[in-house]
Amino acid sequence: MTDFLFPPEPPTGLVVQGEAQLYPVRRIFCVGRNYAAHAAEMGNTVDREAPFYFTKSLSAVVPSGAELPYPPGTQDLHHEVELAFALGAPLFRASRAEAAEAVYAYGVALDMTRRDLQAQAKDKRRPWDLSKDFEGSAVFAPMLPAENFGEVGPQKIWLDVNGVRRQEAALSDMIHDVAGIAAHLSGYYHLGPGDVILTGTPAGVGAVGQGDRLEGGIDGLEPVRLTITAPE
């Protein structure tokens, strides 16, 4: 069966530095509360036993340099800068060592968040989809192959809004590390090439508005940029 009622969406691809071809994205998983200082600023305690997750749709993805019209349904759009990693091999019920081997590339990403809707969802014990999974909410810088990045450790992660530093931490501040996250998540999904995981944001999240220019970085990786424009 190759005929469709209407044209399916074209595949979603991420740029990989040094590669002519795009990395095709299948799924996007995001870790919550993975930096103690960010959990504290949100009034939460951290779970050191296991990470927890939410997901974003492929329609949320935009490349670095995009202009994002201020999204509908919120009056408190927040920035979250995060380390993203992309898998390059199948992973199911994997060990930490197997998980570490399966990481294909790293990149800087923004997990844009409708914070007011997230707060309402928490209050009402409802899912986070409206607050986390919307068009333009997953912004990706070009990825760097893992062998060119080396070990995840003391690298700085930061985010500036209009040139003013808002978020800054070290990747080693993450409660659950890359191998631990991938191994844990592989206990629930048949992970594999195309699966991208955002590893949570450090403290300093805050609101952005029309005209703001966001730039997020991690030592050794290409920065991610986003400009907020007028609502549609």
The pair of structure tokens assigned to 207 is 């609101």
Provide φ and ψ at 132, rounded to 5°: -120, -30
Q: How far is the CB of 61 from Mn ion (least distance, A)?
A: 15
Binding of Mn ion by 74 (CB under 5 A): no
Spatial distance between the Cα atoms of 226 and 74, rounded to a whole number of angstroms: 18
Binding of Mn ion by 80 (CB under 5 A): yes
Binding to Mn ion, residues 183-202 (CB under 5 A): 201
Q: How many residues bind Mn ion (CB under 5 A)?
A: 3
Q: Draw the binding track, 200-219, toward Mn ion (x: CB under 5 A; -: no contact).
A: -x------------------
User: Within 13 Å, how many C-alpha atoms sit on residue 144's CB side?
Assistant: 19
Residue closest to Mn ion (Cβ): 111
Give, for 66, the enclosing helix (H) or strand (E): strand 66-69
Spatial distance between the Cα atoms of 127 and 104, rounded to a whole number of angstroms: 30
Q: How far is the CB of 73 from Mn ion (least distance, A)?
A: 18
Q: Which is nearer to Mn ion, 100 or 109 (CB)?
A: 109
The pair of structure tokens assigned to 107 is 């990149």
Q: Which is nearer to Mn ion, 29 or 70 (CB)?
A: 29
Q: Are 139 and 110 in contact (CB under 8 A)?
A: yes
User: Is residue 78 helix, strand or coil?
Assistant: strand
10 Å CB burial of residue 143 (0-12, 13-18, 19+) is: buried
Choices 52-60, 74-82, 94-102, 219-227 (CB under 5 A): range interacting with Mn ion: 74-82
Binding of Mn ion by 160 (CB under 5 A): no
The pair of structure tokens assigned to 21 is 């071809």
Q: Draw the binding track, 95-134, toward Mn ion (x: CB under 5 A; -: no contact).
A: ----------------x-----------------------
206-207: strand order across its sheet? 113-114, 77-79, 206-207
Binding to Mn ion, residues 36-65 (CB under 5 A): none
Q: Which is nearer to Mn ion, 111 or 177 (CB)?
A: 111
Q: How far is the CB of 26 from Mn ion (least distance, A)?
A: 20
Site residues (vs Mn ion, CB under 5 A) = 80, 111, 201
